[in-house]
Structure 1
Amino acid sequence: MTSHRHPYDTLGGATLVTSALAAQEAGVVPATIRKWVQLGHLRPSGQQGRSHLYRLEDVFAAERATRRAPRRRTSATAGPASRPTSAPLG
C-alpha cells in the first residue's frame, strides 16, 4: 500500500514543495526555480520520485537574494549606444 503525499509535505518540520509549487509560491515560472538551482541560489531538500522537493524557506530566501542582486548591464541589455548628434547642416 502506498501513501499519497500532500504537495505541502513536511520533513522535520520544514515544508517541502515541488518545483511547480515553489514557483507558484514565489511568483515566478518553474524555469526560474531551475535557474536558481543552476546558479547555486537554491538546493533541493528532498526527492519524490523524479521530482525535486524544496523547502519553502529556501525558496523565499533565493527569491529575496535574486531580487536584491543588482543587475549587470551588458551591451545586449543596455539599449542603443548614445552617439553624439551632429549639428544640422544648413
Structure 2
Amino acid sequence: MYLEGNLDHAFWTTAEAAEAAGVTRDVIYQWRARGKITPVNRRGWPRYRAMDVLRAEKSTRDRAGREHAVA
C-alpha cells in the first residue's frame, strides 16, 4: 500500500489498516481490544484513523526493538 495525502483525515477498514501497518487483521483486532486504536464509527464496518493505526504500529515496533515494518 502506498501512503499518500493527508493521513490526518484518512480512515481505513480493518484490512486496509492491516496492510498499511504490515500486520495481520488479527493484530488490528488485538490493538483494538487493548485500546491502542478505536474505531471511529460504531455502526457497520469499523474504520480506523490512519494516524492512529500508524502510531500503534510504531509503538509496537519500538517496544519490540524493530527498525520498521511499513514499506
TM score, norm. by length of structure 1: 0.57
Q: Which has the higher contact order (CA 8 A, sep 6+)?
A: 2
Unaligned residue ranges in structure 2 (runs of 5+) = 1-7, 66-71
Structure richer in helix, relative to its length: 2
> Counterparts of 1:47 and 1:25 in 2: how far apart (Å)?
22
Counterpart selection for 1:63 from 54, 57, 66: 57
TM score, norm. by length of structure 2: 0.71
Q: Deviations over 1:17-69 (max 9, x none)?
A: 100110011111000000001111111122562x1000111000000111112
The alignment yields a C-alpha RMSD, in angstroms, of 1.9
> Counterparts of 1:16 and 1:27 in 2: how far apart (Å)?
16
Unaligned residue ranges in structure 1 (runs of 5+) = 1-12, 72-90
Q: Which one has a bigger Cα radius of gyration?
A: 1
Percent sequence identity over aligned pairs: 34
Structure richer in strand, relative to its length: 1
